[in-house]
Amino acid sequence: MIRTVAVFSCAFALAGCTVFYAPRPGTPGYASAQESRQVTELIGYTQKVAALRAEDQRRELNASSQMFSKERDVYSRTRLALLLALPGTTFNDDNRAVSLLAPLAGDAEPGPMQQFAGLLHAQISERLRRSAQLKEQLEAMKAIERSAAQLKEQLDAMRAIERKIMERELARPR
């Protein structure tokens, strides 16, 4: 019991230290901390937009597009890509989202935002790949169904021929 209390008190003390230590602009770790906050903001923003009505979602997409056209930074690029990749929207465009994230996915020195963009790129690319596979399987299934229908027609035609032959033999005098 005492050990558990000691472990929890150490954990709370260390957690409290992180609250008091916030990197200041110009110090090492400031950019990384700022990007981490931006990633968190983007996740919350995307959840908020997903819950909006269609016209409000469209308005947010337009605002993000304008932001990206003015400022082509990592944040605005990732924000626009997140909205474009949002499933269930009328403006979903995974291909465009992947193309927006592609330059960030292969970044040599990734920060939190680039890592997040790389993760998004991988997830959306996988979704596109699976969608393409599904389309191929659907086309193959349709081809099999067409072939099965043709075979059924041929079988029905052969049965009709067989019936006619049987009727002729029964009708022929012996």
Angle CA 90–119–113, to nearest 5: 95
pLDDT band, residue 173 (cuts 50/70/90): confident
Residue with tokens 């052969």: 158
Q: Is residue 100 part of a domain?
A: yes
169 belongs to a structural domain: no
d(CA 143, CA 135): 12
Q: Please report which confidence band the pLDDT of residue 172 belongs to, taking 50, 70 and 90 as the band edges.
A: confident
Report yes or no on 173 lying in a domain: no
Summarised one tens digit per residue, pLDDT across range 20-49 is 445 555 554 556 788 889 999 999 999 999
pLDDT tens digits along 61-117: 999 999 999 998 889 999 999 999 998 888 899 999 999 998 887 766 678 888 888
Give the pLDDT confidence of 115-162 residue by residue, as tens digits: 888 889 999 999 999 989 999 999 999 999 999 999 999 999 999 999
14 within some domain: no
How many domains is the chain partitioned into structurally? 1
Domain of residue 62: give its range: 31-138
Q: Is residue 5 part of a domain?
A: no
- Domain membership flag for residue 12: no
The pLDDT value recorded for residue 133 is 94
Let me know: does 33 contact 22? Beta carbons within 8 Å: yes
Phi, psi dihedrals of residue 89, rounded to the nearest 5°: -105, 160
- pTM listed for this prediction: 0.65
Q: How remote is the C-alpha of 10 from its chain's centroid?
A: 40
